[in-house]
Amino acid sequence: MTRDTPEVAAARIEAERARARLMETARELQERLSPGNLAQNAWEGAKSKGADLAEEAVDAVRRRPAIASGVVAAIALFLAREPLIGMAGKLADGVTGKRKTKKAAPRKTKGKEKKTETIE
């Protein structure tokens, strides 16, 4: 067996330390990139972004309450447009005295039907 020189022994020790650092870094990366951690980080980021957006929306409403009320009213009218149109039609019919009548079924005329015969 040969004895290492002090320089070679120091190099071996440094190589072992570097290998240990590399393995620790690889373990940390593996932990960071695990699917569970990635999903948790994404969820926390989405919650944070949502909270920021909500806070900005509240601030905007506080700065301009009249505009915010108008926007909410416009959305409500849009969503309720069908019932409102029906009510407006009923109201207009009641004011003008007009009533909707059902269309009469088409009358059948007797004796004026053309009869055709098939010849074989």
Residues 18, 10 contacting (CB under 8 angstroms): no
pLDDT tens-digit map of 48-70: 999 999 999 999 999 999 999 99
Indicate the number of domains in the chain: 2
Residue 113 has pLDDT above 60, yes or no: no
Which residue range is the domain that position 75 belongs to?
64-94
For residue 78, tell me if it sits in a domain.
yes
Task: Calculate the CA dihedral of residues 37, 42, 47, 53 and round it to 10 degrees.
Answer: 160
Residues 68, 60 contacting (CB under 8 angstroms): yes
- In this structure, the answer to whether residues 13 and 58 fall within a common structural domain is yes
pTM (2 d.p.): 0.39
For residue 69, tell me if it sits in a domain.
yes
- In this structure, the answer to whether residues 76 and 33 fall within a common structural domain is no
Domain end, chosen from 63, 84, 110, is at 63
For residue 87, tell me if it sits in a domain.
yes
pLDDT tens-digit map of 66-104: 999 999 999 999 999 999 999 988 888 877 765 555 566
- In this structure, the answer to whether residues 41 and 76 fall within a common structural domain is no
